[in-house]
Structure 1
Amino acid sequence: MKPHRIALAVTTALLSTPLLAAEDASGANEPERIEVTGTRIKRVDVEGVSPLTVITADEIANSGLSSISEVLATSIANNGASFDGDEASGYTTGASSVNLRGMGANRTLVLINGRRQAAFPTAAGGVDNFVDVSDIPSAAVDRIEILTGGASAIYGSDAIGGVVNIYLKKEYEGGDLSARYEAPEADGRDQFTLSYTQGFNTERSNTVLMLEYKNAEELLTSQRQDYFAEGLNRIYSATGDISVPPYLVNQETGEPWAWTENWGWGDALPSSWGANLYDYDEFYHDDKYNYSQESCEAILGDKAVWYDYSSSRKCRYDKYSDRGLESAYDRVNLVLNTEYELSDDWSLYAMVNASYKDSEKYKDEKGFDRTFYQDTATGRIDYSRSGMDDYAKFKVYRRMEEFPGPRIYESTNEKYSLAFGANGYVGDYELDVSWSSGFNKYSRDSQHMIDAAALLDVISFDPNESDPSRWYVLDVMTPEQAEAIMGVSSKRSESSIHQFTTTLTGDLVDLPYGPLAFASSIEWAREDYEDILDDTTQSGGYIGMGGTGGEGDRDRYAAALEFLVPLLSNVTGAQRLELSVAGRYDYYDDETDVGGAFSPQVGLMYNPVENVLVRGSWGQSFRAPDMHRIYAGETIGFGETEYDLPNGEVYEDSYTSYKSGNLALEEEKGDYASIGIVANLTDNLDLTLDWWTIELDGAVRTISSSYIYNGPNDYKPEMNYTGQYDNCDQLPDVGFILETDDNGFDNLMCIRSGPINVAYEKSEGVDGSLNYALEDTGAGDFKFEISASYLLSKEVKDFEFSEPEEYTETEYFPHWKGKASINWSLEDLSASLSYYYTGTAEGVDLFDYYNSAGDNIEEMQTDKLAAFGRLNLSMRYGLPWDGSVRVGVNNLTDELPPYYNVRNTEHDSFPFYREDRGYSMVGRSYYLSYSQKF
């Protein structure tokens, strides 16, 4: 590489432009490109104006972590609320996200080989679009680069929290067959991985073929029962102003209630959805409350709990045993990466990346509690008393344990991406032209749904029911009756992205201290998605199962320009001073008014001496609204509100609710800045220290119905469209319409909820790292690494007029996140010890407990979760026949997630710990892997 191209190569590496998709004409690989910077601290050049973390394939192997999603979850920059879809929760079974700087998974841009990927076709939580990182095969990864801070001036939308760029292997010598088996010390979550990598190299081409299969068992709550049972032990051992709740101990006798004797879930209560019937009018029964221990055990079997503390719902159900903590899955991957050198100046490249994943999410059996009305004249049963002159009222609490087989949500995720292009020189300028396409297909079938309409044709409240097609709710249901009301809720979703990119780079002119380097790019992209629910689910026809589908597309046009300007070089007090300037304009062509946005970025890199880099950057970022927040289909429902009238009466008001996407959404806009230093203190010791801040205005939030209207004395007047529209399906934005009833009351006729631009967010923190190497010690080579991030503040305002909320004090955002490792190698033997740390976390929750006097206390209080750390040990031995064996222990100290305070109502609510903070329920596990090269 010519000396005057060094600065340009460094800038390109820092910003991860699409140019990196191809090698340069000389065929130099990525490490050679980085090494030509001429510094002894390679990372000085890699870091650039913004903090950049590079995780190599060797580091991934030494970590002991079993997946790329785990690797990203342990990154110190991933200090927000991310999720792992292999945990059995959420809308997106089998998918995982990454959340840089706590700005949201939807505001973290994920690239593979520098290119955007199709978003997961179902929005997380029904609102946020994101890129799934769970299906990337570890064996195919060459390195991961994590650029923290805003990068919209380079990439456009989404790069607000930062960029995760995953590079897959581009060349490989020979072949490799590897297998790994991991098993926890406790039951569940065994994992097996088999991978094959083959390189095909000629004088002018490099091709890598990679195949991987991975199987993971489910992890059920019952397989970690010792952890959950601690709730009760902590109640008994708690000190201070607290007593054992009366539902655990009979306050008259002082003895535990009989139901607690064989109960394995601490003070978490069994579900009241067992087999209980309220006959309010005693129409068929002598008592209002109806149940029996005999029928309870006959219906629920070993999951029956006779809850003798209650007087109204004694037949309870153990809902925890069958619940999944992590989903089972099978996954197959194929990666084909190839490059062909046409001449000394030009090469062609292409990549195919495909994955197929089947997941199973285990659930407790379906249950329901519903109110029913029966017309006393005709016998008609309905959920509403409308049209009935005289009726009997019933309420049923029932678990459908008679449904055959376990209740499982089965999902399939298929992902395909294709990229191809050409890279070469036109005169003194390097040109890269590429096309990429990505497709993502997701399907989910949720078993054991209850068809609300079919249930009305079967249900009976008469214990003497003689019609064999009717089912008395306190009897065991027949297989035919179960079949009549059981359904499957289905979702079929697809998304795609197509992108054309051309990039031109080179040196424009020679300045006094070096060449003025530039990079320019032009992009066109089209994204679309389709998220379709079956008709019964969409219409709310399954009890307790809802959702909102949607579909839409958008085109994007963009032009970007970057300059690297040498200001000083080799003068007193300045070994190097360079100015980085970038700007990008994006235009969105869709049904919204987002239109275009310009994103600037300015950075300085200053080397006072050769081995020290002082850097700083500032820029503005933007993000177009999530596709699903724009195009989500309309969901119609019905609700009721209760509020006190001035005369002391309680007024019940029913209304129609509408929820859909919002075409009036605008782009989110933000600013970011960072200042830092990178220093090589000795040949073997280097450090980094960076301060950073990110602000975002106009962040999109989905507004709830209760926020819009919660009674005649608690509503938002600016959202009142009474007299302007006839119905809420006509409203241009979220709001409500009132109507006056015959008594002169202003009833809530209808309400429309959905997303709007209202929120403000700010994250601020400090990152640091220290690396030290000891080589040729006689006892082997040693490498010590430590990195940490301290979140100074995570401030959120849901609305312009609301007070800011500090999430590190209210939402369990930990201040500290860190990792450290010690690596040792001696000839064919090597070992690694890695530690991953999440600091203490504070939050505000409802505390509900009984004090020493037996009084029930309910109040909002601050809770503090203990720190969480995992220590992984890995050892590798190279064998004489080009094989290697690796053994390891993950989570050496068998750490499990920190507990909530026993007074906190979250402590006995499933899953009993904070799911979205990177904690793991697997516990200590052991693994063995073997790799054979040929």
Structure 2
Amino acid sequence: MNCKTTKLRDAISFALAVGTVSATGVGAAFAQEASSDQTTTLNRIEVTGSRIKRTDIETAAPITTITRADIEAAGELSVSDFLRNNVYNSFGSTRESSGSATGSQATINLRGLGSAYTLVLIDGRRMTNSGALAGGAANINMIPTSAVERIEILREGAGAVYGSDAIGGVVNIILRKDYEGMNVTASYETSSEAGPDGNTLSVSGGISSDRGNVTFVLDHQQRDMMFNRDVRDKIPAALWTAGLSPYNSSATFLGGAGLQSVANCDQFENSIRISATRCAFDHGATSANESSLRRNALFVNGNYNLTESTQFFFRALNSETRSLGVYASAPVDNGGRGPGLLPTISATNPFNPFGEAGTLYYRFTPLGTRDSIRQDKQREYMVGLNGSNEWFGGADWEVSLGHGLNSQNSVNYNYGIGSTLQQLIDSGSFNPFDPTHASVAANAGRIGHTVFVESQMRSVTGDGHISFDLFEMPAGAVGFVTGFEYRDDRFTQTYDAQSAARNVFGSAGAGGEGERSYYAAYFEALFPIFESLDVTLAGRYDSYNDLGSKFSPRVSLEFRPLDELLFRGTWGKGFRAPTLVDMYGDSSSTNLNSPPVNTLSPPHAGGDELACAALTAVRTATGDAAYQPYPVNPCTSSGQYTWLVSSNPNLTPEESTNWGLGVVWSPTADLSFALDYYDVELENVIGTVPRALAFRNGDAGVPGYGVTRGAPITAPNGTVLPGAPNLILLPTDNGALQTARGLDFEASWRFQTDSLGTFNTKLAWSHQLEYDFTPIAAGTIERAGTATFPEDRGQLALNWTGGIYNFGVITNYIGSSSNGTAATTLPSWTTFDVQAGVSLPWKAKISVGARNVTNKDAPINNALFGFPFYSNTLYNMYGRMMYMKYEQNF
């Protein structure tokens, strides 16, 4: 089609041609000076957030485009590492953490709303979510880096286009297609400090004919494990001691006098004396901080022209990862009577040196560390037809069928059966106070247990749409698209019989299964009201077999008073369906921290108010401010307790309202600025009740709540204190509220010289104006700027290309944050990444670089984090990571 171009449209066409539209985290287009009456033939393209093809990339929706060159310039090992550093991943996101059910997983979390509120697409269609993440989010570790052509990030909700989950934004990972030739790329990276070594190897190729193309990618990636002991020198000794656990290989005894250890407790491996009467276990000496990860993937993309107007296309992605996580030997948090119910010992037991009955905080060490081997598989298959015909005066259409499968098999060694251990203790056949005693080794095999977990998320999909010009208006044709989508999801998660019966200690989680299907119908219409004003209306109707139906509308405006100036605005509704686990999963036990009572004011008081009040009264009565009989001080320490989280079949969808305003100014062909305001409001948010409320209602006997405590503790003055909490029920429900508001700023400048090469400067900055959360049945918490919720993230990329050489520097910034005191303040974190490359005469290129070249340590804070005292969703402890990459084209 012929269309009259504006300066901005010419600029976009030029920028696409030279590959300079976007930067690392920057997606503003360049403007180009052109005659206002110039007429050019431009191809219409479809961008993320709209199904109407158009010539303008800058639309009413704010989109950041990340090119393949941007990913390569950052020198990151994986797509997940690259996206974790993106400024719109506001508060960080999950990485492959050892000792966690997410040990092989990585997610993206736009606006900090949670990974479940960021929709991940592959080539514009939903990526099958992870079974290991309960079907709630996609595992982007499964994406082979070398298969990625570009990534488009829609920085606002898009429920009217994509349906559920597209609330915080949309990440569209667009894979390579129509490639010709052959490329082999290999890289290796290593750290000057504690960071894990890694390597990649990929082979990419493509064959074309006059009727079609087949593109393939073979991709291998490997990263080693990082142990906590590798970062020990980064953590002050006092903090390391604060992270020690009362669950010890020489059991810590809880009786009437509080916690005590045997006299020789410090003679055993990793058992550290912390007072005259107590030892604690150094779990950091043996546990890993991050899991190892090895991925192998095959990707094939093809198309074939059946006729001049009809094309067949297909895509297949087969990705497999294997990860190993190592965690400290298992704490016996299940004494055979259920999760959180610790083992006990009688006063007459021959191995009991304390002369009274008590509870044991015991760690089962004879079998060694808990080792978890996880094998993940991602299968994404899709076939379809697209084409054009003369319907409605000229229409484009597309239909497709897809099948997705994400599965994980997890084998977890060196756990144990609590009831067997308790029976052995009761019979006097097992000494829990001496890990070197003959009875321990003799019975280790009887107690030990291997946990097997299988998780699977399966999706079957069908979709189609047709687009055409609906009618003519004075300013142009009304573009229109309508379509349908069908999806059937099935989730299953199964545990071995002992784990399912909750007989295993040192392990958490639960099985469950569910199936859901839905169909959707949608439309989108673009009205050119004037030459300078476009209005787009969109709507989507989703009907679920178990949740009813939802309608999501959207209105957007684009106003161009000048060729180089765009004002834009959007308003829309969205929703997020409860996951199948939220509704149908088995109750699961998990270990979670609860904030101390004295650090927060009502209604956000911390966890164990009952114990804190009783302890405070005893201290006042006796004058002994140091008296502390509990494993964790309920008044001043962030205690980790065992919680039983329940599903709820009566949950309803969460609802969102998104709106935004923005301006894009491109005064010259090589200079562009964009400023956008976003506003997200979430209602009916699904979550667990506040942990303080769970404690309070459980102690009060409110139906649906409960706190199971150990034996009462007798204080020195005879006062009976409530026992330590062993298990707390944590119900799930609708009712929380979430608000996020902020500003995004992007700028790019391209400076080309005749003799000194080309310089590119690109900036992205995101600022949180407001980030409020109102838990169920509680008051609002203002989180923006508080610790782990930084108000600012920024990224500045400076690149130079001259002949066969290139050089670049990327500055990454995470702002400071504080809970209002010096003890709860995190400083800002700024790192610098550098890369230099040279192209060689034999169609090769060598690149060398370093991430975090100044070797900046992550912020450490024991008042905010448990061991190892930093947030690995926001930061890493890799130190300076140096790498080399070699590319060979054929």
TM more than 0.5? yes
Query: Separation in 2 of the partners of 1:493 and 1:657?
Result: 22
Amino acid at match of 2:765: A
Q: How far apart are residue 424 of structure 1 and its match? A: 0.4
| Matching residue of 1:604 | 557
Residue 711 (structure 2) aligns with: none
Measure, in 2, the Cα distance between the counterparts of 1:397 and 1:104: 34
Instruction: Report whether the alignment pairs 1:563 with 2:525.
Output: yes
Q: Does 1:626 find its partner at 2:596?
A: no
Q: Alpha-carbon deviation of 1:164?
A: 0.3
Deviation of 1:637 (Å): 12
RMSD over aligned CA atoms reads: 3.7
CA distance in 1, matches of 2:707, 2:275: 42
Change (3 A) 1:64 1:32: farther
Find the partner of 2:59 among 48, 52, 57.
48
Q: Is the 8 A contact 2:698 2:706 kept in 1?
A: no
Structure 1 residues 35 and 291: alpha-carbon distance in aligned structure 2, compared to 1, 3 A threshold: closer
Q: Which residue of 1 aligns with 2:763?
A: 786
- Aligned with residue 647 of structure 2, among 661, 668, 688: 661
Partner SS, residue 72 of structure 2: helix
C-alpha distance 429-510 of structure 1, shift in aligned 2 (>3 A): same
Equivalences for residues 616-655 of structure 1 within 5 A: 616-634=569-587
CA distance in 1, matches of 2:582, 2:813: 35
Quote the residue 2:28 is aligned against.
none
- Other-structure match for 1:424: 387
Corresponding residue number in structure 1 for 2:262: 291
1:580 matched to 2:536 = yes
Partner of 1:364: 328
Q: Residues 93-132 of structure 1 correspond to what in structure 2 (within 5 A)? A: 93-123=103-133, 129-132=136-139
Any residues of structure 2 matched to 1:29-68 within 5 Å, and which? 33=44, 45-68=56-79
Q: How many residues align?
A: 787
**Partner of residue 863, structure 2:** 905
The letter of the residue matching 2:61 is S
Cα distance in 2 between the residues matched to 1:474 and 1:679: 70
Q: 2: CA distance between counterparts of 1:164 and 1:690?
A: 18
Superposed displacement of residue 187, structure 1:
4.2
Q: Is the 8 A contact 2:217 2:300 kept in 1?
A: yes
Alignment of 1:476-487 (within 5 A): 476-477=437-438, 479-487=441-449
Superposed displacement of residue 214, structure 1: 1.1
* 1:419–1:434 Cα contact (<8 Å) kept: yes
- AA matched with 2:478: L
SS of the residue corresponding to residue 457 of structure 2 reads strand
Which whole-Å CA distance do the structure 2 matches of 1:288 and 1:874 have between them?
54
- 1:48 counterpart letter in structure 2: T
1:456 & 1:367 partners in 2: Cα distance? 14
* Residue 449 (structure 1) aligned with residue 426 (structure 2): no
Shift of 1:584: 0.6
Separation (CA, whole Å) in 2 of partners of 1:44 and 1:325: 48
Q: CA deviation at 1:447?
A: 1.8
| Offset at residue 304 of structure 1 (A) | 4.0
Alignment partners' CA distance in 1, 2:42 and 2:194: 43
Partner residue, 2:462: 500
Residue 477 of structure 2 corresponds to which residue in structure 1? 515
Offset at residue 786 of structure 1 (A): 0.7
**Superposition pairs for residues 465-864 of structure 1, below 5 Å?**
473=434, 475-477=436-438, 479-569=441-531, 576-590=532-546, 594-634=547-587, 659-703=645-689, 707-708=693-694, 710=696, 734=704, 753-799=730-776, 802-843=778-819, 863-864=824-825
Larger radius of gyration: 1
Taking structure 1 as reference, are residues 680 and 810 closer, same or farther at Cα in structure 2, changes over 3 Å only? closer
TM-score norm. by structure 1 comes to: 0.78
Deviations 1:654-674 (A, max 9, x none): xx9975311111111111111
2:193 to 182, 186, 204: 186
What is the CA deviation profile of residues 503-542 of structure 1, one whole-angstrom value per residue up to 9, with x for unaligned ones?
Answer: 1001111111100110111111111100112222222211
Partner of 2:623: none
Q: Return the alpha-carbon distance in structure 1 between the equivalents of residues 863 and 196 of structure 2.
A: 29
Q: Secondary structure at the match of 2:91?
A: coil
CA distance in 2, matches of 1:712, 1:193: 51
Deviations 1:70-106 (A, max 9, x none): 121122211135211x232532111111111122110
The runs of 5 or more residues in structure 1 that have no matched partner are 15-29, 37-41, 233-264, 383-390, 570-575, 722-733, 739-747, 848-860
Contact 1:872 1:890 in 2 (8 A): yes
More divergent stretch after superposition (65-74 vs 143-152): 65-74
Indicate the residue corresponding to 2:278 in structure 1: 313
Change (3 A) 1:136 1:866: same
Deviates more, 1:202-211 or 1:269-278: 269-278
Three-state SS of the structure 2 residue aligned to 1:334 is strand
Q: Distance in 2 between matches of 1:562 and 1:149?
A: 17
Contact 1:866 1:899 in 2 (8 A): no
For 2:508 and 2:705, the matched residues in 1 are separated by 22
Change (3 A) 1:343 1:185: same
Asked if 1:78 is matched to 2:31, the reply is no
Task: Give 1:188 shift.
Answer: 4.6
**Are the structure 2 counterparts of residues 627 and 80 from structure 1 closer, same or farther at C-alpha, using a change threshold of 3 Å?**
farther
2:184 match: 177
- Look up the equivalent residue of 1:889 and give its one-letter code: A
Per the alignment, residue 726 of structure 1 pairs with none
The alignment partner of 1:101 has SS state of helix
Is the contact made by 1:781 and 1:825 (CA closer than 8 Å) also made in structure 2?
A: yes
Q: Distance in 2 between matches of 1:2 and 1:381?
A: 90
Q: Hey, what does 2:849 align to over in structure 1? A: 888
| 8 A Cα contact 2:508 2:588, kept in partner | no
- What amino acid does structure 2 have at the position aligned with 1:871? F
Name the stretch that deviates more: 72-81 or 491-500: 72-81
Post-superposition offset of 1:828: 1.1
| Residue 121 of structure 2 is aligned to residue 158 of structure 1 | no
Alpha-carbon contact 2:153-2:170 (below 8 Å) kept = yes
Q: CA deviation at 1:547?
A: 1.6
CA shift in 2, pair 1:712/1:123, >3 Å: closer
Q: Distance in 1 between matches of 2:759 and 2:5?
A: 34
Deviates more, 1:345-354 or 1:698-707: 698-707
Instruction: State the Cα distance separating 1:842 from its structure 2 match.
Output: 2.1
- Contact residue 629 and residue 661 of structure 1 kept, 8 A: yes
The structure-2 alpha-carbon separation of the partners of 1:615 and 1:544, relative to structure 1 and needing over 3 Å to count, comes to: same
% identity of equivalent residues: 27
1:222 and 1:119 map into 2 onto residues whose CA distance is 33
Choose which of 854, 870, 879 in structure 1 pairs with 2:840.
879
| TM superposition shift of 1:705 | 7.2
| Cα 1:89–1:81 shift into 2, 3 Å | farther
The CA deviation at 1:914 is 2.2
**Residues 505 and 518 in structure 1, CA contact (< 8 A), matched pair in contact too:** yes
CA contact (8 A) 1:277 1:473 kept: no
Q: CA deviation at 1:752?
A: 6.3
Q: Give the direction of change, closer, same or farther, for the CA distance of 1:74–1:713 in structure 2 (3 Å limit).
A: closer
Could you report, residue by residue, the CA deviation over 1:462-487 in whole angstroms, capped at 9, with x for unpaired residues? 6xxxx6x8877454355442111111
Q: Distance in 1 between matches of 2:350 and 2:310?
A: 78
Helix, strand or coil at the partner of 1:50 = coil
Shift of residue 896 of structure 1? 1.7
Change (3 A) 1:89 1:789: farther
Conserved? CA contact 2:343–2:359, under 8 Å: yes
Q: Is the 8 A contact 1:460 1:472 kept in 2?
A: no
User: Could you tell me which residue of structure 2 aligns to residue 415 of structure 1?
Assistant: 378
Per the alignment, in what secondary structure is the counterpart of residue 481 of structure 2?
strand
Contact (CA 8 Å) 2:249, 2:365: kept in 1 or not? no
> Do the aligned partners of residues 280 and 784 (structure 1) sit closer, same or farther apart at CA in structure 2, a change above 3 Å counting?
closer
